[in-house]
Amino acid sequence: MVDAKPADIAYGDISQLEELIDRDSLREVCRSFFDLFGLSIRVFSARGVLLASVHEERTICRYVNSLTRGRVACSETVAQAQMLVPQGSGTVVHPCFSGAVYHVVPIRYDDRQLGRIIIGPFLPADVNEVPNSLLTLDPNLEPERARLALAEMPRVREQTANRIASHLNGVLELILFSGHKAQLTSAMHLATVRENYRELGEKNARLQEAFDKLKELDRLKSNFLATVSHELRTPLTSIIGYSEMLEAGIAGELTSEQAGFVETIRSKGELLLQLISSLLDLNKLERGQLTISPEFIDPRAVLAEVRETCLPEAEKRRIKVELAWNDDIPLVQADPVRLRQILTNLTSNAIKFTADHGQVRLAIRATELRVATAEDDPDDDPADASVGAALMMAPERAVEFAVEDNGIGIANDELDKIFDAFYQVDGSSTREYGGAGLGLSIAKSLVQAHHGQIRVESEVGRGTTFFVTIPETQPDEA
Ligand code: ADP
């Protein structure tokens, strides 16, 4: 089961500045402000992460840093400026002992403070003297040198500094906006994907549930079918046996009317028995419980027997059933009972779906078969094997049976459905042909159990031919 968390779209939430902003673009912006106004700029996130820094060490700074006390005082001043967090939306001015100042400008977006910009150091325009705090900083400081160095510091009017800060803030706001937009888009995309994934998970779980239920139902159906069929078969065998005894006159001579009734009881009983056997076979095949016992047999003998079995029905309807083969027919390794079952099924269908006075032809020929080997995909259905795959396989000597009729034929779009269990082309309750739609499905499974192939060619109104190809030898299962 996939846990079904609700989609969490955090698009209202603005996260850290460092996540919203592209650092390269930010550095570019700071660089262009530096080039334009000559002021050092540093940008910090609310958590104090330095995101961009463009600055130049001033002559006075370099000089102060070369003095022991100066160095200490300088780093303290810079550290304090960097740690200063403006509380409101206004700029905070942080003074340096040199008379210069730093402007600490808050970065605000959507009513939240996301960080700060430090501009400076620069000299306010109104500072003209070297302040005492600088002159008394270090005993080794040379006042004249300090004065000259300080003169190189950029001078900016308070107003100008504020304007520069507000421009910079405006540009930053634009970058933040586009970053926020991108974040929103990706958050929404993520949420959609997550929602789709969750839906898919739910559907999958429902599908699995339905599949499990179906499997259970299938198992119950199989058990039910096996029990019912078995329970029906025993009394039915008695019914058939007793009708045969009655027909044989064991219980006394029957009038012709009585004989007719008994004959109906027997033949309907036999039909029912056939149906029950088919159901049992299908059940066994579906559960993989049906095994074949192959032996070397003469295919001609099998086909001749099939003809004999089907002949009475054909003769009733004046349908000719002819046999056709050459002398070169080899023995095949097959289960004689099951092979007879396959061919009887096809032949009785051929007779059933052919008009009176029609023709059925039962033929055999030696051929070759390309069968999937054990290394091939076990899911591959040899009967449906694609031509491309079949060409890759080594050919095997085989025998092909063809059951051909000139009956009603089968429409093209029905050809691959007729092998499904219970499928009949005309499935209506008023259909004129008997049967339960199980014969071909069983025949196909039995052919597959022989590692063979079954296929059909047909034309509506002209007739149908079923081809069954069985390899001469069965692979050694051991
Ligand atoms: P059924 O018991 O109905 O014969 P099958 O599985 O043997 O069941 O056949 C399925 C369906 O395929 C048949 O109902 C029929 O519609 C069609 N069919 C099979 N063989 C032929 C054939 N020789 N000619 C025409 N239709 C056929």
Residue listed under structure tokens 């009475």: 312
Instruction: List the residue whose alpha carbon is closest to atom 13 of ligand 1.
Output: 424
- Nearest atom (ligand 1) to Cα of 440: 6
Residues with C-beta less than 6 Å from any ligand 1 atom: 349-350, 353, 405, 407-408, 410, 418, 423-425, 435-441, 464
Q: Which atom of ligand 1 is nearest to the CA of 431?
A: 14
Calculate how far, in angstroms, residue 161's C-alpha sits from the geometric centre of ligand 1.
95
Tell which atom from ligand 1 comes closest to the C-alpha of 409. 25
Domain positions in the chain = 9-156, 204-268, 292-471
Distance of alpha carbon 91 from alpha carbon 116, whole angstroms: 10
**How far, in Å, from the CA of 424 to the mean position of ligand 1?**
6
Residue range 344-361, pLDDT digits in tens:
999 999 999 999 999 999
**Separation of CA 437 and ligand 1 centre (Å):** 7
What distance in Å separates the CA atoms of residue 340 and residue 192, rounded to the nearest whole number? 60
Q: In angstroms, what is the span from residue 72 Cα to ligand 1's centroid?
A: 102
pLDDT at 207 over 60: yes
Distance 464 CA to ligand 1 centre (A): 10
pLDDT tens profile 374-385: 444 444 454 454
Q: How far apart are CA 78 and CA 237, in angstroms?
A: 108
Q: How far is the CA of 349 from the centre of ligand 1 (A)?
A: 6
Using most ligand atoms within 8 A of CB, pick from 313, 349, 445, 466 the residue to mutate for ligand 1: 349
245-280 pLDDT, tens digit each: 999 999 899 999 999 999 999 988 998 888 888 888
Q: Is the confidence at residue 472, as pLDDT, over 80?
A: yes
Mean pLDDT of the chain: 87
Nearest alpha-carbon partner for 339 in 298, 308, 367, 374:
298
Give the nearest ligand 1 atom to 436 CA. 2
* CA 436–ligand 1 middle distance (angstroms): 9
Q: What are phi and psi of 19, to 5 degrees?
A: -85, -25
- What confidence tier does 459 reach under pLDDT thresholds 50, 70, 90? very high
Give the pLDDT of residue 391. 54
Quick one: which atom of ligand 1 is closest to the CA of 427?
Answer: 14
The Cβ-side half-sphere exposure at 267, using a 13 Å CA radius, reads 8
> Ligand 1 centroid vs 450 CA: distance in angstroms?
22
Residue closest via CA to ligand 1's atom 3 equals 437
pLDDT at res. 8: 44
CATH of 9-156, one of 1.25.40, 3.40.50, 3.30.450, 1.20.1250: 3.30.450
CA distance 171 to 31: 13
pLDDT score for 5:
43
- Ligand 1 centroid, distance to 411 Cα (angstroms): 12
**Nearest-CA residue for atom 11 of ligand 1:** 424
331-343 pLDDT, tens digit each:
999 999 999 999 9
Atom index in ligand 1 nearest the CA of residue 438 equals 6
Percent of the chain with pLDDT over 70: 90
- Ligand 1 site-directed mutation target among 282, 310, 414, 418, most atoms within 8 Å of CB: 418
Q: Are 136 and 143 in contact (CB under 8 A)?
A: no
Condensed to tens digits (0 to 9), the pLDDT of residues 100-131 reads: 999 999 998 878 888 999 999 999 998 888 99
- The string of pLDDT tens digits covering residues 218-237 is 888 878 877 887 888 888 99
Report the separation in Å between the CA atom of 421 and the middle of ligand 1, taken as the mean of its atom positions: 11
387: pLDDT strictly greater than 70: no
Ligand 1, atom 8, residue with closest C-alpha: 437
Task: Count the neighbouring beta carbons within 10 Å of the beta carbon of residue 439.
Answer: 22
Q: How high is the pLDDT of residue 7? A: 41
pLDDT score recorded for residue 374: 46
* Count of other CB atoms within 10 angstroms of residue 287: 12
Query: Is the pLDDT confidence value at 13 over 80?
Result: no
Topology (CATH level 3) of domain 292-471:
Heat Shock Protein 90 (3.30.565)
Q: In terms of DSSP bridges, do strands 453-459 and 359-370 run parallel, antiparallel, or are they unpaired?
A: unpaired
Atom of ligand 1 nearest to the CA of 442: 6
- Give me the pLDDT at residue 206, please: 96
Same fold, 9-156 and 292-471: no
Q: State the pLDDT at residue 371.
A: 58
Q: How far is CA 206 from the centre of its chain?
A: 16
Give the relative orientation of helices 336-352 and 439-449 as an angle to the nearest 10 degrees: 150
Ligand 1 atom closest to 345 (CA): 7
3-state SS, the chain, equals CCCCCCCCCCCCCCCCHHHHCCHHHHHHHHHHHHHHHCCCEEEEECCCCEEEEECCCCHHHHHHHCCHHHHHHHHHHHHHHHHCCCCCCCCEEEECCCCCEEEEEEEEECCEEEEEEEEEEEEECCCCCCCHHHHCCCCCCCHHHHHHHHHCCCEECHHHHHHHHHHHHHHHHHHHHHHHHHHHHHHHHHHHHHHHHHHHHHHHHHHHHHHHHHHHHHHHHHHHHHHHHHHHHHHHHHHHHHHHHHHCCCCCCCCHHHHHHHHHHHHHHHHHHHHHHHHHHHHHHHCCCCCCCCEEECHHHHHHHHHHHHHHHHHHCCCEEEEEECCCCCCEEECHHHHHHHHHHHHHHHHHCCCCCCEEEEEEEEEEEECCCCCCCCCCCHHHCCHHHHHHCCEEEEEEEEEEECCCCCCHHHCCCCCCCCCCCCCCCCCCCCCCCCHHHHHHHHHHHCCCEEEEEEECCCEEEEEEEEECCCCCCC
Q: What is the pLDDT, as a whole number, of residue 388?
A: 53
Dist. CA 180–CA 15, nearest whole Å = 9
Residue 3: predicted pLDDT? 46
pLDDT in tens, 395-441: 889 999 999 999 999 999 999 899 988 888 876 655 677 777 889 99
How far is it, in rounded angstroms, from Cα 422 to Cα 286? 14
Q: Which of 135, 96, 117, 101 is nearest to 27 (CA)?
A: 117
